[in-house]
Every structure is written in C-alpha cells, then in structure tokens.
Structure 1
Amino acid sequence: MRAGRMKHTDSAGRSEILSSDRLMVMNAGRGFSHEEEVVGADQIEMLQIFVRPEASDLTPAVQFVDLDESARDGRWRLLTGPVGSTAPTVVRQAIYLHDTHLAAGGTIELPSLEGFDRWFYVFRGEVTAASQKVGAQTALIVGPDDPHFNVTASVDSELVVFLVDRNAKFSREGTISG
C-alpha cells in the first residue's frame, strides 16, 4: 500500500490494519477466507498481486511485517521471497519482490538473479529505462539476458520489481495465492 489504510480480517481470527508501513503477505491455502475493508476516508493506492503456489491444498499462512520506509530510499528493499529465503515475508513460489523510492535524477540498477525475469512496475513518478520514458502505473518485463539494467528517475518515483522464475513448478488447482 502506498496510501490509505485497510483492515484485514480472516477465518484464523486475525484482524490487522494495513498501511504503507505495514505489509501483509497472504498464502491463502485450503479452507481459508478473508476480507478487507477501507479504514477512514483516504483514497487507497495499492498493488494486490496473486501468485500461483508451487502446489495445491497447502496450509494457510498470513504474514504481517512493519516496514521502515527509509530503508527504500535510493536502494532496493526486499519485501518478499520464496520459502527459505532471507526475505521478511515468504511466498510459496520462486518470486522475489523489491521496492524503492528514487529521487528525481537518481539512477538505480534493477536487482537480478540468474535465470529470473524482472517484472518492473512504476507505482508513482516517471523513469527512463532503455532510452524510453516509463510513466506511473506502467510495467515492463526485462529478461535475464540483460543483468545490468538501469533506470533513472525523471521525478521522484516509487518503483516495484518482481524477480520471477518462469520455469518454476506451479499449481493450477485450488486457490491462486495458496
């Protein structure tokens, strides 16, 4: 979430407020239900991403973590990774999620892992990537063949990048965020 607040409530009895400094990652799994509701009158700005797990019928797990917004100033902050990674939250898939705040004029190299594509998204602002301007709410895919891919912010910008192993095993059964 970049703006606003939402309340998450689920069938495991958890109820938490989500905001730009409180991240939730849900591995829904079997027999799990949840709902979110807007808290207050502020407009909500967020990304909600659904990821197919590596297997179906998994046990549900919901993770909440407090975020330090300064940890993403001019550098990539790791938010989520596969089970067994060093990420503060995990998903049951070969995916890593990073975000950053890049000041106007700043340049940053997209994180990379051998064999992983980068799915790059401009949440707010505008950047130049490979000589083309990329505005807010626009996404690009950068393949693994270009490990040193830089972006430069034209204005203060908020960026998200997913490192995705397109060859990873996944399930087409059950919940898509299991």
Structure 2
Amino acid sequence: MRAGRMQHTDSAGKSELISPDRLMVMNAGRGFHHEERVVGDDQIEMLQIFVRPEAADEEPIVQFVEVDEIERNDQWRLLTGPKGSGAPTFVRQAVYLYDTQLAAGRSIDLPSKPGFDRWLYVFRGRISAGQHEVGTHTALMLAADQAEMTVTAVLEADLVVFLVDRNAKFSRGGTISG
C-alpha cells in the first residue's frame, strides 16, 4: 500500500489497520473469509497480488508487519518470501517480493535467484531498463535465463519486483491465496 488506509477484518477474529507503513500478507487457506474497508477520505493506492499456494486447504495465516520506508531508499527491501527465506513475512510458494524507492539518476541491479523469473512493476516514476524506458503503472518481465538487468531511475521511482519460480509446484484447488 502506497497511499491511504484500510481496515482488515477476518473470520479468525483479526481486525487491523493496513497503511503504507504496515504491510499485510495473507495466506487465506481453508474456510477463511475477510474484508477490507477504506478508512478516511484519502485515495487508496496499492497492489493486491494473488499467488497460488503449493497445496490447497492449508490453515489460514494473516501477517502484519511494520515497514520502515528508509530501508528501501536506493536499495532493495525484502518484504516476503517462502517459509524459511528470512523475509519478514511468508507466502506458501516460491515467490519473493522486494521494493525500492530509487532517486532520479540512481541505478540498481534487479535482485535475482537461479531459476526465478523477475516481474518488475513501476508504482510511480520513470525508469530505463536495458532497451526499455517505462513509467508509472507499467510492468516488465525478465525470464530466468535472461542476463542480469540494471534499472536506472529517469525520474524518482517507486519499484516493486517479484521473483517467481514458474516451475514450482502449485495447487489449482481451494483459494488462490491459500
């Protein structure tokens, strides 16, 4: 979430605020329902990503963590990864999520892991990456076998990158965010 606030309420009895400095990662699981409602009049700006879990019908787990914006200035900040990855939150899949706030003129290499595709999303700003120059709300995909990629902020840029193992086991049963 980059702007606004929302109240999350779920069938496990949690009711917590989500905001730009409070990340929520939900592994929905079996028999789980939830809702989010906008708090206040501010416009909401966020990404909501659904990831198919390795297996269906797992127990639901919702995680909330405080995030410090300074930790992403001109460097990648790991937000989530598979269980045991060392990330502050986890998903039940071979997926990693990073973000950065890159000052105009600064460059950074995309994070990478062998066998993982990279999905880069420009939340705000303008970047050049290889032969591409793209702006706000644009995504680029780099296959696992593509060379390393350096990104340069043409204008200050708020970036998110997902590392995804498209060959990982996944379930088509149950919920898509289980």
Band of TM-score, shorter chain = over 0.9
Q: In structure 2, what residue type is equivalent to 1:129?
A: A
Distance 2:132 2:139 in 1: 12
Deviations 1:122-149 (A, max 9, x none): 0000100112211110111111223420
Q: Which residue of 2 aligns with 1:165?
A: 165
SS in 2 for 1:4: coil
Q: Which residue of 2 aligns with 1:175?
A: 175
Q: In structure 1, what residue type is equivalent to 2:163?
A: L
Q: Which residue of 1 aligns with 2:105?
A: 105
Q: Which residue of 1 aligns with 2:73?
A: 73
Distance 2:104 2:112 in 1: 23
Deviations 1:36-71 (A, max 9, x none): 000000000000000000000100000000001000
Q: Which residue of 1 aligns with 2:43?
A: 43
SS in 1 for 2:70: helix
Question: So what's the TM-score if we normalise by structure 2?
Answer: 0.99
Deviation at 1:16, TM superposition (A): 0.6
Root-mean-square deviation (CA), in Å? 0.7
Distance 2:57 2:73 in 1: 38
- Mapping of residues 13-52 of structure 1, within 5 Å: 13-52=13-52
Distance 1:45 1:147 in 2: 32
Distance 1:92 1:148 in 2: 26
Question: So what's the TM-score if we normalise by structure 1?
Answer: 0.99
Deviations 1:97-131 (A, max 9, x none): 00000000010000000010001100000100112
Alpha-carbon contact 1:118-1:143 (below 8 Å) kept: yes
**Percent of aligned pairs with the same amino acid:** 69
Q: Which residue of 1 aligns with 2:88?
A: 88
Distance 1:134 1:29 in 2: 36
Q: Which residue of 1 aligns with 2:3?
A: 3
SS in 2 for 1:70: helix
Larger displacement relative to structure 2 (77-86 or 142-151) = 142-151
Structure 2: which 5+ runs fail to align?
none
Matched, 1:55 2:63: no
Q: How many residues align?
A: 178
